[in-house]
Amino acid sequence: MLAEQRRDRLLELVRQRRFASLLDLADELEVSESTVRRDLEQLQEAGSAQRIHGGVLYTGSSPKLPHFDAQQPEQWDKKKAIARAAVRLIDDGDTILLDGGSTTYEVARLLVGRPLHVVTTSLPVANLFASDANSDLVLIGGNICPRSGVARGPYADRMLAMVHVRKTIFSVAGIHDEGFFNNDLMLVETERAMMRAANEVIVVADSTKLGHQSLTHLCPLGAVNHLVVDDGILPAWREKILSAGVDLVVADSARANIQEG
């Protein structure tokens, strides 16, 4: 088996299992563990897998759900830059609450392997952490949206009322003068419950969301603590966000350098 074919097979095994031990992968591919380690180094550099104690986790592209597939490909570089900036707001040992937005998923991928207490409404996000021995995972139940794999609705809201976290991280569909918006009424109610459960609220959103409303108003601009956005944000919007008392973190889409305003 050629090296490229072996790595493709290795990635497929990790993707299917979500977590695999080095010994199992070596046996499956009929190669040494050292060969598997070398192949995994390349996959980790590409962001497709992450080595943790005892094995490897799949951290590849967003899962095959319509919600993710519908995203415009040109926005992914922005989302990944935002994620790299957002994870700097998370400390080891934090208890965090994550929703199922596409940008939040990118944040979650970068948090796998860190010592965290993770609560999530998202099945795709839960899959990332399910076999991670370094984190504790709580999955919120409720009505599952088939497009995104996210739990929302009254059952989810009741469960969220029983938890308390240090930081909530979620995405939005629009940011306007009136505040933050999303396009699902049940989702908005669940995100409000997420906000009530947290000491700090972090919104992650690419700059294309600025200046746009969506179906349902979530909260005023000043109701969140941090907004992490890419460097496509216009100066007028920088001023509006800062004037609302929100900590603004701007991620450099080209170099992933971080400017804080």
Whether residues 120 and 142 share a domain: the answer is: yes
pTM over 0.85: no
Could you read off the pLDDT of 183-208 as tens digits, one per residue?
Answer: 989 999 999 999 999 999 999 999 99
CATH classification of the domain holding 51 = 1.10.10.10
The residue that leads in pLDDT, 172 or 124, is 172
- Taking phi over 0 as left and psi of -120 to 50 as alpha, with beta for the rest, 142 belongs to left
R_g (Cα) of the chain, nearest Å = 19
Whether residues 140 and 161 share a domain: the answer is: yes
Whether residues 16 and 144 share a domain: the answer is: no
If one counts the domains in the chain, the total is 2
**What gap in Å lies between CA 100 and CA 124, rounded to an integer?**
7
Whether residues 137 and 222 share a domain: the answer is: yes
Q: Which of 19, 34, 58 is the last residue of a domain?
A: 58
Whether residues 202 and 77 share a domain: the answer is: yes
Whether residues 79 and 37 share a domain: the answer is: no
Q: Which residues pair with 119 in a beta bridge?
A: 97, 138
Q: Which of 11, 42, 58 is the last residue of a domain?
A: 58
Q: Which of 42, 58, 74 is the last residue of a domain?
A: 58
Whether residues 110 and 51 share a domain: the answer is: no
Domain holding 193, by residue range, is: 66-260
CATH classification of the domain holding 182 = 3.40.50.10470
Tokens 């957002």 correspond to 86
* pLDDT the model gives residue 238: 97
Composition of the chain by helix, strand, coil, percent to 5: 40, 25, 35
Whether residues 37 and 77 share a domain: the answer is: no
44: confidence class by pLDDT, cuts 50, 70, 90: confident
Beta strands in the chain (DSSP E): 19-20, 49-52, 55-58, 95-98, 117-120, 136-139, 143-145, 150-152, 165-171, 174-176, 179-182, 198-204, 216-219, 226-230, 247-251, 258-260
Whether residues 136 and 254 share a domain: the answer is: yes
Whether residues 157 and 125 share a domain: the answer is: yes
Q: Which residues contact 84 (CB under 8 A, 6 or more apart)?
A: 110, 251, 256, 258
* pLDDT the model gives residue 54: 63
Whether residues 84 and 206 share a domain: the answer is: yes
Whether residues 145 and 205 share a domain: the answer is: yes
Q: Where are the alpha helices (DSSP H) in 46-183?
A: 66-69, 76-86, 102-111, 123-129, 154-160
Q: Which residues contact 161 (CB under 8 A, 6 or more apart)?
A: 193, 196, 197
Could you read off the pLDDT of 205-232 as tens digits, one per residue?
Answer: 999 999 999 999 999 999 999 999 999 9
